[in-house]
Chain A
Amino acid sequence: MTPVSPALAALAIGDDGEPLIRWDWIRRNLSDDILSALKEHLILSFTPILLGLVIALPLGIACARWRRLYGPVLAVTSVLYALPSIALFVVLVAFSGLTYTTVVVPLTLYTLSVLVPSVVDGLGSVPAHVRQSAVAMGFGELRRLVQVDLPIALPVVMAGLRVATVSNISLVSVGALIGIGGLGELFTDGLRRDFPTPLVVGIVLIITLALLSDLILLLIQRLLTPWERARATRRKNRGQSRDRDRVPAAREGETA
């Protein structure tokens, strides 16, 4: 046993006096179990984000251009979003077996159902006068899209990306029920052995990972949109607030 500080020893719980965290277990399993689970978790949560982004951008741009397309796409994505991830995992086992694909595909679909509306809303938030100025300056359609519309849409798209990233990171763990769950496998392990340490380690790592990724995306967003910051300070000095600063309605929550 490693020495445990009194504060942590006070966390001891249960009739058998099993502490909430056994530091020696963490030390023993760090290099094999925990780190490989972490690696798997990173792969399983970020592959869907990248795939989702690659698909959602063109799809969202198409939906923003041809509004008729948006209705059906939105209907499909909102139904997909409501489906419990465990159900999708299980159904996919029939097609892709017990591979990473089985977890990556449903998470990509969730990412899409968050990102496509963000891209469409973001492009919709481009003010008409800005668009007209671009046209008047002789911007072609593609150039306008890349240099004007997309940069203005960026904050909304990034907000969606942050939501999708954080929820993907926590959803991956559900895959542990079919044996592919990254850090989620620490959960099933903890239940099998009736042992809280892996559970606490898994939960703490997942939350840390989620918050860290959120923070990094926020920083990226700030770096990519320097004009937003300038505008915010100007507004602050004038003592005004804008609608976008108000509390946004929550997006639909994700399902377990």
Chain B
Amino acid sequence: MNAIFDALKWFGESAQWSGPDGIPHRFVEHCWYSLLAFAVTVLIALPLGLLFGHVRRGRLASVTGFAVTSSANAARALPTLGLLILAVVLTSAGDLVPILIPLVVLAVPPVLVNAYAGVQQVEPGLRDAAEGMGMTGAQVILRLEMPVALPLILLGLRTAAIQIVSTATLAAYVGLGGFGRYIVDGYARQEYDQMAGGAILVALMAVLIQALFTVLRRWAVSPGVRLQYAGA
């Protein structure tokens, strides 16, 4: 237990709150990698998931359905640390891009699968009504399927965000910044208080994101949809 108190003391030292190795700077770094990876993930996975979910009939639909679901299973099996290091060893170390590739590869499946499943589960009656009102395909996706699927879409986004934030910690191991620096440097120098401090910061980030998405869900999901989910 003493070790944890040491970590708390570590937070109190003024050296931790300024300079390039200070918590504020590391926080900005961590957020920067995470946001970048998250943005790329959303840009790739969300439109694809919505589109694949929207197309329901035909041979193509069954092929994409299988591909989407198996991508989620495959992503679980991928060892993050290995991919990260491989990306760095194969390219030049210190670059941001080799870090982003594994982060995005691992975060795409949860967004893709949840958007896909969310749209698939929209009641056929609702879609028929929307089409009957003369909505075009794009309108059906944006104005009906997306809002109804929003709880699941948000779940996917949250999963991806948490995954990215925790994986971004590992980026320190291949020479980048972020909160992972404290863990990696602390381990190298056998300074446990610093390691534990870093671990606590990373855990706080993850909990913060979870809270953020809970709020977002309450704010963004339409009351009718929320009711339906609460009843289910």
Do A and B form a real pair?
yes
By a beta-carbon cutoff of 8 Å, the part of chain A in contact with chain B is: 13-14, 78-79, 82-91, 93-94, 163, 166-167, 169-170, 173-174, 176-178, 181, 183-184, 186-188, 190-191, 194-196, 199-200, 202-203, 206-207, 210-211, 214, 246-250, 252-256
> Could you give 21 example pairs across A and B, Cβ below 8 Å?
A13-B90, A82-B210, A83-B166, A86-B199, A86-B202, A88-B199, A88-B203, A91-B4, A91-B199, A94-B3, A166-B76, A173-B80, A177-B81, A177-B187, A188-B85, A191-B85, A199-B82, A199-B85, A248-B117, A249-B155, A250-B72
Knowing A199-B82, A249-B118, A256-B163 are in contact, say whether A170-B88 is a contact too (CB < 8 A).
no
- Bound together, the chains give a CA A247 to CA B71 distance in angstroms of 13
A-binding segment of B8-16, B107-115, B217-225: B107-115
A86 touches B210 (CB 8 A): no
A-binding segment of B18-26, B128-136, B137-145, B168-176: B168-176
Residues of B within 8 A of A207 (CB): 77-79
The number of chain B residues touching the other chain, given as a range, is: 35 or more
A214 touches B170 (CB 8 A): no
- Bound together, the chains give a CA A91 to CA B206 distance in angstroms of 15
A93 touches B88 (CB 8 A): no
- Bound together, the chains give a CA A84 to CA B198 distance in angstroms of 11
Q: Restricting to B58-89, which residues have a CB under 8 Å from any CB of A?
A: 65, 68-69, 72-73, 75-83, 85-86, 88-89
A90 touches B75 (CB 8 A): no
Residues of B within 8 A of A254 (CB): 76, 163
In the complex, residue of chain A having the shortest beta-carbon distance to the beta carbon of B6: A94
Q: Report the 9 A-B pairs with minimum CB-CB distance, sorted nearest first.
A: A84-B166, A94-B3, A210-B77, A90-B199, A87-B199, A253-B159, A256-B167, A255-B166, A250-B113
- Bound together, the chains give a CA A214 to CA B76 distance in angstroms of 11
Of the residues A178, A188, A203, contact of B86 by C-beta under 8 Å = A203
**CB of B38 within 8 Å of the partner chain:** no
B162 touches A255 (CB 8 A): yes
Residues of A within 8 A of B109 (CB): 250, 253
- Bound together, the chains give a CA A4 to CA B205 distance in angstroms of 47
- Bound together, the chains give a CA A211 to CA B79 distance in angstroms of 13
In the complex, residue of chain A having the shortest beta-carbon distance to the beta carbon of B174: A191
**CB of B200 within 8 Å of the partner chain:** yes
- Bound together, the chains give a CA A42 to CA B196 distance in angstroms of 27
Q: Restricting to B149-195, which residues have a CB under 8 Å from any CB of A?
A: 152, 155-156, 158-160, 162-163, 165-167, 169-170, 173-174, 180, 183-184, 187, 192, 195
B159 touches A250 (CB 8 A): yes
- Bound together, the chains give a CA A195 to CA B86 distance in angstroms of 9
Knowing A84-B166, A191-B88 are in contact, say whether A206-B199 is a contact too (CB < 8 A).
no
Residues of A within 8 A of B210 (CB): 78-79, 82
Residues of B within 8 A of A183 (CB): 79
Knowing A174-B170, A177-B184, A255-B166 are in contact, say whether A83-B79 is a contact too (CB < 8 A).
no
- Bound together, the chains give a CA A194 to CA B152 distance in angstroms of 41
Residues of A within 8 A of B187 (CB): 177-178
Of the residues B117, B118, B160, contact of A253 by C-beta under 8 Å = B160
Residues of B within 8 A of A13 (CB): 90
- Bound together, the chains give a CA A190 to CA B77 distance in angstroms of 20
A173 touches B152 (CB 8 A): no
Q: Restricting to B93-112, which residues have a CB under 8 Å from any CB of A?
A: 106, 109-110
Q: A246-B120, A247-B116 are in contact. List 16 more A-B contacts (CB 8 A).
A: A79-B210, A82-B209, A83-B206, A83-B207, A87-B169, A87-B202, A91-B196, A93-B192, A178-B187, A183-B79, A187-B79, A199-B82, A206-B77, A206-B79, A214-B77, A250-B114
In the complex, residue of chain B having the shortest beta-carbon distance to the beta carbon of A203: B82
In the complex, residue of chain B having the shortest beta-carbon distance to the beta carbon of A181: B81
- Bound together, the chains give a CA A101 to CA B124 distance in angstroms of 50
A87 touches B203 (CB 8 A): yes
A82 touches B206 (CB 8 A): yes
Q: How far is the CB of B194 from chain A (nearest CB, A)?
A: 10
A199 touches B86 (CB 8 A): yes
Q: How far is the CB of A210 from chain B (nearest CB, A)?
A: 4
